[in-house]
Amino acid sequence: MKRKTNGISHKRNMSYMPVIAIALVLFTVFFIIPAVYSFYFSLTDWNGYSLEYNFIGLDNFVKVFQDTDLLNSVKFTMIYTVAVNATTIPFSIFLAVLLTRKLRGVNFFRSVFFYPAIISMLSLGLIFNEIFRRMLPMIGENLGIGFLETSLLSSKGGAMLAVIILGFWQNLSIPTVLLIAALQSVPGDLLEAAKVDGAGPITRFRVVTFPFLASTLVICLVKGIRDALVVFDYIVSLTQGGPAKATTSMGYKIYLMGSMDMKFSQACATAVVLFVIITIASFVIMKVVGRGGIEQQ
């Protein structure tokens, strides 16, 4: 009987192999090979179209840290990343807690909050461009609201705020859905026991609920930081890096260097640096946030 069960398990495992093989092939073709080529070209002086190029070692990486415009794009990207994630994660926890209660029409509101995730980011940028450039100034003029009469996109600080608002609105949906699923896995008897013992709502959340959310929060933070560090679509359709390069992100800068300035090898070096930043940030988050997870207790 045991031998028969093992045979069924082996056949079931073997049936997964084609799916795993396809995934590995796709991952290798679309991620591993481009990443290796990108690192290789970052060590050359290739301009992206010439048939000849030279090996120059780490010169491109030195230029990355000497480029004033690039350092400004790093500054904006870091501000955007911190601002979006510092607002998105707490607010998504609040919404997830609210949307797991037995409220009237809760499924409708879950759908509404998930809606931004299914819209193209390029389309969102174009929509919000019209909102910030035309709709809000028109509302400000008609209602006599002074600060709305001028488009946010006309100033450096306003453009940065506009990009952060759009990033917050679009990136709120996925964490909310994931945290709703995580909240539904919290045992009700543990919450009731904590309540009987006199624990207040904050204490119950910190001691009972948070350990069950920690692993999901790690996923949300890693995804949120990765998406923020490589933000590109919003910038193209909303501000095009302006005004005065105030909203030029690292992703948009890499695009400009590789496609417009013909500095393809330097763009590859910048992409490698960005990859290292994302890797370090993800590792730190998994160590710090993941430490509070239920599996660690």
Q: How confident is the model at residue 88 (pLDDT cuts 50, 70, 90)?
A: very high
Q: How confident is the model at residue 3 (pLDDT cuts 50, 70, 90)?
A: low
Q: What is the pLDDT of residue 83?
A: 94
For the stretch 256-262, contacts whose Cβ atoms lie closer than 8 Å and that sit 24 or more positions apart, written own/partner, are 258/48, 259/48, 262/47, 262/48, 262/49
Q: What is the pLDDT of residue 9?
A: 62
What does the domain layout of the chain look like in residue ranges? 61-296
For the stretch 78-86, contacts whose Cβ atoms lie closer than 8 Å and that sit 24 or more positions apart, written own/partner, are 79/160, 80/160, 80/163, 80/164, 80/167, 80/228, 80/231, 80/249, 81/225, 81/228, 81/229, 83/164, 83/167, 83/168, 84/164, 84/167, 84/168, 84/171, 84/224, 84/228, 85/221, 85/224, 85/225, 85/228
pLDDT tens, 208-239?
788 888 888 888 988 898 888 888 888 888 88
Q: In the predicted model, what is the mean pLDDT of the chain?
A: 83
State percent of the chain over pLDDT 90: 11
Q: What is the pLDDT of residue 290?
A: 59
Q: How confident is the model at residue 79 (pLDDT cuts 50, 70, 90)?
A: very high
Contact 125, 181 (CB under 8 A): no
Helix (H), strand (E) at residue 145: none
Q: How confident is the model at residue 2 (pLDDT cuts 50, 70, 90)?
A: very low
pLDDT tens, 127-178?
888 888 888 888 888 888 777 788 888 888 889 999 999 999 988 888 988 9
Q: Structurally, what CATH architecture does the domain formed by 61-296 represent? A: Orthogonal Bundle (1.10)
- The model's pTM is 0.85
Q: What is the pLDDT of residue 114?
A: 81
- pLDDT(87) > 90: yes
Distance CA(171)–CA(194), nearest Å, equals 33
Give the mean model confidence (pLDDT) for residues 96-122: 80
Distance CA(228)–CA(215), nearest Å, equals 20
Q: How confident is the model at residue 296 (pLDDT cuts 50, 70, 90)?
A: very low
Based on the number of CB atoms within 10 Å of its own CB, is 164 exposed (0-12), middle (13-18) or buried (19 or more)? Answer: buried
